[in-house]
Structure 1
Amino acid sequence: MHPVSRGGSAVAMASSWQPIRGGVTAPEGFQAAGIVAGLKPSGKPDLALVLAPETAVCAGTFTTSVVRAACVDLCRDRLVSTAGQARAVLINSGQANACTGDRGLVDSQRATQVLADQLGVDAESVLICSTGVIGVPIPMHTLLAGLAPLVEALDDAGGDAAANAILTTDLVDKQVALELELEGRRVRIGGMAKGSGMIHPDMATMLGFFSCDAGVVPVSGRGWCGAVQVPL
């Protein structure tokens, strides 16, 4: 979202953002869920879903590592082929689905197709992200069995559950939500991320998801690259 100000600077507008609760589901129209599907031996939440409104547009930036999971290529290709028309993002934690050969891509495609059928959307509009142990395939029977209860758990207050389900070695969940009055309208931005030590170089195994209910034009992947490189 590009900063717009009247009678003040973009910096002044940025200072007007107020923290709120809700994470990725704080913006209007977004739903999320997080459940225990049985992908992690620990029994902790391990399957998350974020569902966007029909009119939402999506953009992403991805690691440049040559050792990357199949889902990275799948997501990047689908965002290009659909011009950013994504409806859902499925995230599993426990297995990174990296270094798993051709099976990794087949499993990613299968998971998104089954989820798309349950949501009633085009499979090309469904993205998938995987995080966890490298070189270990996803136990697909477990993941697929978890999709129905995951969809059933979708809620417009499901941001907390989703943020907890994407964690691996993280000690705490990482999420944020902000609100701003802009030209008489309430605008909200929400986000969640996972990543502990392995976030260098170029994001490495970090995952981040952000939602917004402002009417904006599609943001290019290059624009997101600039955003993620801004030092905090």
Structure 2
Amino acid sequence: MKALLLTPPAPRLWNPATAEEDLLPSKTWVPLGIAYLTSALRANAVETVFRDLHQETWPEVAALLERERPDLVGISCFTLGRINADRLASEARRVLPEARIVVGGPHATFFPEHVLANPAVDVVVLGEGEETIVELVACFERGGDLADVPGLVLRTGNGVARTRARERSRTWTAWPSRPTTPSISPNTSLLKSRRSTGASSGPTSSARAAAPSTAASAR
């Protein structure tokens, strides 16, 4: 199974110079979340590609999906970017009708029912997803029952249902800071988009530990 993990394009802002919504907001953060998930999947021999689509246009997004042809599309969803995350899920379904579409991140964790209101989305991952995404992919590959994977919200015939809660990790040792460690470290080598000039590529555990809580991030 091939996975493609994405952050959605940034919403364009109203530009007073053109009177159009064509102003790209500055990039002020590095999406370490999908970098950690990529490292977790690759550590378990899952072919994984990830891209930060902050500056990409929708035609470029469609071209990327067509070019990579993944079996699973994972989308990171923050509250401020929820509209484009929703649109990205719909675009992925249009281009890749057979792909599994998974959404995670702060907004998805706090409002999974809202995310699953989009019929393009198959499943929501709650909270820290490094262990969940690996088990989810394995479950897809063997044709297992998603209800057996903890930390998910699924669509059912009667609405949505949560699987059992996943115990939160109490240590950071599962995600070492050194990229040479043969375990899980945030792979940031592809976080710079082809037009980006300011994204940092230095993975550090202190950056993850210093990141705001999911509750704060969702506000």
Q: How would you bin the TM-score normalised by the shorter chain?
A: under 0.3
Which structure has the highest helix share of the two?
A: 2
- Length-normalised TM-score, structure 2: 0.28
Higher strand share: 1
- TM-score, normalized by length of structure 1? 0.27
